[in-house]
Structure 1
Amino acid sequence: MNNASDITSGMNSVTFVSGNADKRNDAIAILSPHANIKLVDYDLKEIQGDEKEIAKEKLDLAMKIFENEIIIVEDTSLRFIEFGGMPGPYIKHFNKTVGADGLHKMLYCYSDKTAIVRSTVAIGVPRHLTNDGHRQIHIITNNLQGKIVEPRGENGDKNGWDPCFQPAECELTLGEMNESDRRKHCSRVGALYQATKILKNIFNQNFEAAEKKEGNENGSVKLK
């Protein structure tokens, strides 16, 4: 049986694990107003599978490495409608090989240049931080539609595909946007905002369970 001190000690702290600096920057910007966040620069091995399978596997691995912490991981895919959703979660490998210009050329001869950026965020809560003693897993998916264009701009991840992705109803590519505007058109940011709502429920439910166990009537710590 978990005691109150076990739960409250890590109640509003989360660990975001990623070897990608842009992901870590987005995480600290979105999550830090709501939780005590620790960033860990660590590349998690990725299996073959769909976005949810990959995110779940990354989360499982991170929870084994950082077993006493609430963990958040994220996986981003870029899906070309013309290619039935490929490259999808394997975009990192495609991008390393051909770059933004190569991604544009892949669709150059096709009329449908629609692409969807999909961010999958996975949250894992270890057993000792839950009120029922069972590990909790939460998966969040957020999509952003746009199109692949000739690369423009050097902002964002200039070595990634930001310069060739133009969000729907926008005249600029992600590579042409400043940081503030890019975050308004970022699937990962949208998924992280959804994550704050889940974290709020996790923190408050666990504190209420701890408070009940202690018979403490001094109020509860709420997510900001």
Structure 2
Amino acid sequence: MAQQEIVFVTGNANKLKEIQKILAPVTNYKLINSALDLEEIQESSLEQIATKKVKEAVSLLPSGTPVFVEDTALGFDALNGLPGAYIKWFLKKMSLDELIKILDGFESKTGKATTTIAYSDANGKIHIFQGITHGNIVSKRGSEEFGWDAIFEPLVSEGNLGIETYSEMSKDLKNEISHRGKAFRAFKDFLLSN
């Protein structure tokens, strides 16, 4: 049986490589990429943002094309989850050093990383998958090439503080414990069972 193509809408080459590694091998699907320019609504709900984007992608692709989008947030506990879904826009206007300075007046330096995937199957039914990782917001350590990875030190297990930021750890370890890894493993399990 031929592999069915599934479209991942992203213009981020680093994200594409990471997802290809996490999803491999999903034997009945061939992951292809499309850098469609989708409208990103300003909304605090990742589910609403991702659903809107996948619906727009469906309208731009040939009928019946399975397609998925992914949105990621970084929320600070001291700020009741902000910047959250707005993290991308914060990073366009400020450096990582400036971003963590926001927490200077707060005792809590913890946060939550969340990835939400919206997948529209060949019949147009939308499925949502989400992964969450809790961690500490720290002074930047490691490479700054992948968003805010250099300031997020994940909790490796409940009650056990991590000692590395996402940027400092191996790609395999990051994919194993990260919010994105958790969301995409749930998505992968869904694809393998359908």
Check whether TM > 0.5.
yes
| 1:149 equivalent in alignment to 2:141 | no
RMSD after superposition: 1.7
| Structure number having the greater helix percentage | 1
Compute the displacement of 1:12 (Å). Answer: 3.4
- Tell me the amino acid that sits aligned with residue 125 of structure 2: Q
Deviation at 1:155, TM superposition (A): 6.0
Determine if the alignment matches structure 1 residue 139 to structure 2 residue 128.
yes
Match of 1:170 in 2: 162
Q: Which residue of 2 aligns with 1:61?
A: 56
CA–CA distance in structure 2, aligned partners of residues 175 and 185 of structure 1: 13
Aligned to 2:148: 161
- For 1:36, which of 27, 30, 37 is the aligned residue? 30
> 2:47 corresponds to which letter in structure 1?
K
Q: Which residue of 1 aligns with 2:13?
A: 21
- Conserved 8 A contact 1:75-1:121: yes
Q: In 2, are the aligned partners of 1:122 and 1:137 still within 8 Å (CA)? A: yes
Q: What are the superposed Cα offsets for residues 112-147 of structure 1, whole Å, 9 maximum, x if unpaired?
A: 1111000001110133xxxxxxx2110011100001
What percentage of residue pairs aligned between the two structures are identical?
32
Residue-by-residue CA offset, 1:48-79 (whole Å, 9 max, x unaligned): 22100000001001111113310011000011
Q: Tell me how far apart the structure 2 counterparts of residues 189 and 43 of structure 1 sit (CA, whole Å).
A: 24
Moved over 6 A (4+): none
Unaligned runs of 5+ in 1: 1-7, 128-134, 203-224
1:195 aligns with 187
**What is the CA distance between 1:44 and its match in structure 2?**
2.0
Check whether the contact 2:22–2:175 (CA below 8 A) recurs between aligned residues. Answer: no
Corresponding residue for residue 91 of structure 1: 87
CA offset at residue 190 of structure 1? 1.3
Q: Larger Rg: 1 or 2?
A: 1
Superposition map of 1:99-114 within 5 A: 99-114=95-110
- Greater RCO (Cα-Cα under 8 Å, separation 6 or more): 1
How far residue 18 of structure 1 moved from its aligned partner, in angstroms, is 0.8
Letter in 2 for 1:79: G
Q: Structure 2 length as normaliser, TM-score?
A: 0.88
Letter in 2 for 1:102: E
TM-score (norm 1): 0.77
